[in-house]
Chain A
Amino acid sequence: MTAGRAIFDLAAAVAIVFSGLMVVGRNPVRSVLSLVVAFFGLATCFVLLLAPFIAALQVIVYAGAILVLFLFVLMLLNVGQEQPDRTGRPIQTVLGSAAVLVFAGLLLGMFRGSGAHVPTPADPISPSALGDPAALARLLYSDYLLHFEAVSVLLLAALVGAFVLARPEKVS
């Protein structure tokens, strides 16, 4: 096994373990922090998959902004721990678990053998240049300009929406 392979496996393991911790944890703050660690692992995987720029974005935006926002909201609302389920109706849990297991099995079956018949591209880019930010930027501002602008408008809309939704209600 090459070094890259080993690091990838390690980073992937970290991501998976900490995601698991996030899902089972009681305390919401602990969950958020576990997810942050998982995202770091994921960023490492990105680097090893020849996308360093995206890895950087992942850390800065996802882990650094979005999850921090989560933390802010948690602190703001002073959310307590989740109480155990007292309704006594297990259908959601039972059926949900079963469904997830079936689904995981399906994915496993589907993904195990893939990659064997990946077509080679006609004009291959050298692996080292694949994650070049300048090239990415050029692509972004030429072929994908419309998408870019659209996403910026979306962000504006989200900003306004969040502001309106979270406003305290007017006392008339």
Chain B
Amino acid sequence: MIGSIPLSDALLVSGALFSIGIAGALLRRNAIQIFLSIELMMNAANLALIGYGAALGTREGQIIVFFVIAIAAAEAAVGLAIFVALFRHSETIDVNKINLLKW
């Protein structure tokens, strides 16, 4: 049980999660769901970090993940605040419809 997870397994899972997250970020039009996909991507990165930390036998990976979680929290707060302001202004959450900077 202890230290018996090979690194490649952890990385493969991380890669799969990251790809799913990217797919969601690119293919969805709902702003909330794009945001959720981004959170998923960050977690995939966290998993990779933890995996490396376990494989290398250091605590640095965990420390980094600690900070990533904190920053993700801050980012989520601000992002959602922006989202709220946007929704108040345009009454839609379809990202396609927000294109004032179009040529």
Contact = CB atoms under 8 A, between A and B. Distances in A.
A and B in direct contact, judged by CB atoms within 8 A: yes
Interface of A: 2-5, 8-9, 12, 15-16, 19-20, 22-23, 25, 28, 31-32, 35, 38-39, 42, 45-46, 48-51, 53-54, 57-58, 61-62, 65-67, 69-70, 73-74, 76-77, 79, 82-83, 85, 87, 92-93, 96-97, 99-100, 103-104, 107-108, 110-116, 118-121, 124-125, 127-128, 130-131, 135-136, 139-140, 144, 147, 151, 154-155, 157-159, 161-166, 168-169
Contacts of B80: 69-70, 73, 162, 166
Nearest to B7: A115
Contacts of A131: 62
A32 B37 CA distance: 10
A151 B71 contact: yes
Nearest to A34: B36
Interface residues of B, number: 75
A100 B73 contact: no
Interface in B74-100: 74-78, 80-85, 87-88, 93-94, 96
A19 B15 contact: no
Contacts of B50: 45-46, 49, 51, 54
A16 to B, nearest CB: 6
Given A103-B22, A115-B8, A51 B54 contact: yes
B26 A121 contact: no
B79 to A, nearest CB: 9
Nearest to A116: B8
